[in-house]
Amino acid sequence: MNSPSDLRRRGANNAKSPKGKCRTRSRGRDTASAKSPKPTPLSLSFLPDDHPPPPPSGRPITPKEKVGQFLKKRATSLKKLPSQKRFWFTIGTLFGFILPSFLLAPKVLYVTGVTETDLMDDFVTKLLVPFIDDFVPKNPMGEGRIKAPGPGLLLAKEGAKAKHPVFLVPGFITTGLELWEGEACAKKYFRQRMWGSTTMVQNMLQDRDCWGRHLALNPKTGMDPDKIRLRAASGFESADFLIGNYWVWARIIENLAEVGYDQSNMAMHSYDWRLSPKKLEERDQYFSRLKASIEVSVNALGEKAQLVSHSMGSNVIFYFLLWVSQSASKGGGDGGKDWVAKYVAGHVNIAGPLLGTPKALTAILSGEMRDTAEMSPFEPMLQNFFGREKRRDMFSTWGSLWTLMSKGGNAIWDGNLVTFTDGKEGKEAAEATNSALAKFGAAEGRTTEEFIDVLVAWGGGHGHDYHKRIDISFAQSKVGGKQTESSTWHDPLTSPLPYAPDFTHYCMYGIGLDTEHAYYYKKNSNQDGHMPYVLDSSVHDADADVRYGVKMGPGDATVPLISLGYMCRSGWTKGRKGRKLNPGKSNVVTREYLNGGGLGSDLSDPFRQGPKAADHVDIMGNTQMIEDVVRIATDWHGGIKEDVVHSEIDEIVKRVDVGKK
């Protein structure tokens, strides 16, 4: 990576204005407005003139009721607008509402008789929530269904039929979380989704602190906070759609249904994506339930199971395959060494970050990532509403994020994962906050190993043994060693696959999209909360592909290519390493999907990337990927056996393997 000074110099040169011109903003007040008479008390005269009739009781209509009827009328008329206009109108309305709520003095709202809470209640329930339900494309099973036949229907016409029982395992944040016990501020949401629905949006906007407390875990245990219980929703409804009608698994489920799948031979095994794998079993018996469900289906149907996972769900499945093969005395599921060979035909890994993702590191360190960095013009507003220290405090309690930290060190992750633009000044920031971070910013660049060592020692501010409490080890153990410790079962570079010669592991992922690879950090001059470092969004270099302090590289816009493809292209297949990490010589297939999507590419679903999308989430609607999944599940014409590789993954793998020798 280039030095911070070089990048700043380039950014400064690129940002120079033409000679004789300068970009300034007037801050003076209009002289006319300065001479205007003293304003009268604020009224609701901005509402329409066609005043509604008084309530049935005959009493005058209250300001709050007037605001509510106005918003309701606007929401009704909004539905008549074209979808894109409706979208941008509401986004503008949202910013237009939030901004004044931070700037207006409380007494201004008091004059109207309407409180900030009243406005927020009316805005969320009468405009924002109806909008979310209305603008997102409809359920593809119903009115908004794609006109062209899907791959499932086409294969069904050829004669494909359901064969293997299918178990679907969703990814990070794509499962709804329901409230079963909560504080007084959330009691009204009992058994409603605090994550993954319009209820979440309503609660987050009305009381962000209440919402944040319920989403966070206990940092001392990695489990539920006192008197708060969120649990994963169950069934297909838990992850087919997320907020409103934003589909995730819906299209895969629909196409599998076309060839004969239903609840009798297909199941969604959702989980609380905040928990570390060990805590999933300890609190929810997740792996025990999955094991029992697979055994029942395989014994009843007479066919081995296909496990289909997306994103972090692939890491969960990898952990499960190791857990189920180990004895109970070692913390495993006591299935025996041959359980996988007996019950599982294969694992379809869709966009799985098997070697982690850099996003997890920055989320734990500062609550930031590219998404927030690119919002730098709105960062003060975002910081005021849900600040980076609040985000980081919440993220760092999620054991799942610790399992997603980058694996393999610098041998896998070429170059420094983090570069400090403050040089030795960063050391002073750390010393003032936490001794474990004292040496963190002393050097300009930090290797992946050093970065992880410091984060582990720091424990996200929760103590140096936090990783032990959630049972995650980051030790670079001998490759392919006999790892019976559950703390290493999240790491495919350390823990070998179970012995299963007929098992097939599929790596299926999108390519061709810029993805976060490394970061530039600086000393936090504001020292808000306990945030010694923040992303330096001023660092730009188009030549080095650095934007807003984030170094970009190949991937699926969320997970880097090396994490998506390394295990299937080398880790389980090549040389001495492959023999140790894949002792049963299980089959390995790689399927890459070159990005051909973009917003608006599918007019029936204009807010998604289209049927050729390679994006980390929208690949779940990629028709070629769906066809491959259906072929694998039905074993139609022998399923999928050929590799399809478009990217430079083999060249990257070769450089990594040479560097590790």
Residues classed as catalytic: 311, 556, 616
Strands 418-420 and 445-446: antiparallel
- Nearest alpha carbon to residue 346 among 483, 489, 508: 508
Alpha-carbon torsion angle 267, 272, 277, 278, nearest 10: -110
Q: Which residue in 424, 388, 396, 445 sits closest to 215, CA to CA?
A: 396
39: enclosing H helix or E strand:
none
Residue 498 · residue 322 · CB < 8 Å: yes
The residues, ordered by sequence, that sit 6+ positions from 53 with a Cβ below 8 Å of its Cβ are none
Exposed e or buried b per residue across 86-125, where buried means at least 16 C-beta atoms within 10 angstroms of its C-beta:
bbeebeebeeebbeeeeeeeeeebeebebeeebbbbbbbb
φ, ψ of residue 299 in degrees (nearest 5): -65, -35
Phi, psi of 150 (to 5 degrees): -80, 165
Q: Return all residues near 447 (Cβ < 8 A) that are at least 6 apart.
A: 409, 410, 416, 417
CA distance 338 to 324: 10
Q: Angle, nearest 10°, between helix axes 208-215 and 379-386? A: 70
Q: Which two tokens stand for residue 89?
A: 């109108």
Handedness of CA 189, 195, 199, 201 (dihedral sign): positive
Q: Which stretches does DSSP call E strand in 385-537? A: 418-420, 445-446, 504-511, 513-523, 533-535
DSSP string for residues in 129-157 = HHHHHHHSPPPTTTTT--SSPPHHHHHHH
Hey, what's the torsion of the CAs at 609, 615, 620, 624, to 10 degrees? Answer: 80
Distance from C-alpha of 591 to C-alpha of 565, rounded to nearest angstrom = 9
Helix/strand/coil for 562? helix
Structure tokens that stand for 166 in this block:
């299918």
DSSP code per residue over 566-586? HIIIIITTSHHHHHHH-TT--
With beta carbons less than 8 A apart as the criterion, state whether 78 and 89 touch: yes
Q: Determine the Cα angle at 125 with ends 120 and 127, to 5°.
A: 90
From CA 168, how far away is CA 456, in angstroms rounded? 32
Name the nearest CA neighbour of 349 among 602, 148, 565, 180.
Answer: 565
How far, in Å, CA of 54 to CA of 72, rounded? 16
The answer to whether the beta carbons of residues 158 and 386 sit under 8 Å apart is no
Fill in the amino acid letter for 452.
I
Q: Which residues contact 575 (CB under 8 A, 6 or more apart)?
A: 657
Q: In whole angstroms, what is the distance from residue 589 CA to residue 579 CA?
A: 16
Residue 262 CA neighbour count, 13 Å, CB half: 2
Tell me the residue ranges of DSSP E strands in 512-628. Answer: 513-523, 533-535, 546-547, 550-555, 587-594
